[in-house]
């Protein structure tokens, strides 16, 4: 007894499952991630630079913000010295959002893309100076 039919069905299921991402995406254009830097503040900047390099920020902003929160809330430090020696206020609202005032086209587009759901937004509104959610 060979059970060829069952084996073939099993193998088809295996291929469908194992190569599932290919089947879903084949033919689709992989949309490159679009991060909009088109905000009034950024447009006015001469040197379009964040507080650290863009690569560093992309990979590490979450750790930086987490650290800031602990520093501000627990230690009372409010000043961040960047690797180039510049000093910044450790504040999402008063610092980051000054430039990145476009949450939905900046923060969200990337977060949604890579499916991360930061709990920053549990309190912060994502607009500059708006303060915390009540």
Identify which of residues 31 and 134 has a Cβ nearer to other proteins in the complex: 31
Identify which of residues 42 and 120 has a Cβ nearer to other proteins in the complex: 120
Angle at 96 between CA 60 and CA 73, to 5 degrees: 80
Query: What is the footprint of other proteins within residues 88-127 (CB under 8 A)?
Result: 110, 112-117, 119
- Taking the complex as a whole, the smallest distance from the CB of residue 10 to other proteins amounts, in Å, to 6
Query: What is the footprint of other proteins within residues 54-83 (CB under 8 A)?
Result: 55, 58-60, 62-63, 66
Query: What is the footprint of other proteins within residues 7-46 (CB under 8 A)?
Result: 7, 10-11, 14-15, 18-22, 24-33
92 close to 120: Cβ distance less than 8 angstroms:
yes
Residues that bind other proteins (CB under 8 A): 1-4, 7, 10-11, 14-15, 18-22, 24-33, 55, 58-60, 62-63, 66, 110, 112-117, 119
């Amino acid at each position: 007894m060979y059970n060829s039919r069952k084996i073939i069905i099993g193998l088809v299921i295996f291929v469908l499952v194992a190569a599932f991402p290919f089947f879903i995406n084949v033919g689709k254009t992989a949309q490159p991630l679009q991060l909009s830097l088109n905000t009034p503040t950024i447009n006015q900047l001469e040197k379009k630079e964040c507080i650290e390099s863009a690569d560093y920020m992309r990979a590490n902003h979450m750790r930086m913000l987490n650290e800031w929160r602990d520093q501000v809330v627990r230690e009372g430090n409010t000043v961040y010295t960047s690797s180039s020696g510049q000093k910044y206020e450790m504040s999402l609202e008063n610092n980051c959002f000054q430039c990145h005032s476009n949450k939905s086209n900046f923060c969200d587009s990337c977060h949604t893309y890579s499916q991360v759901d930061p709990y920053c937004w549990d309190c912060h509104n994502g607009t500059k100076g708006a303060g915390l959610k009540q």
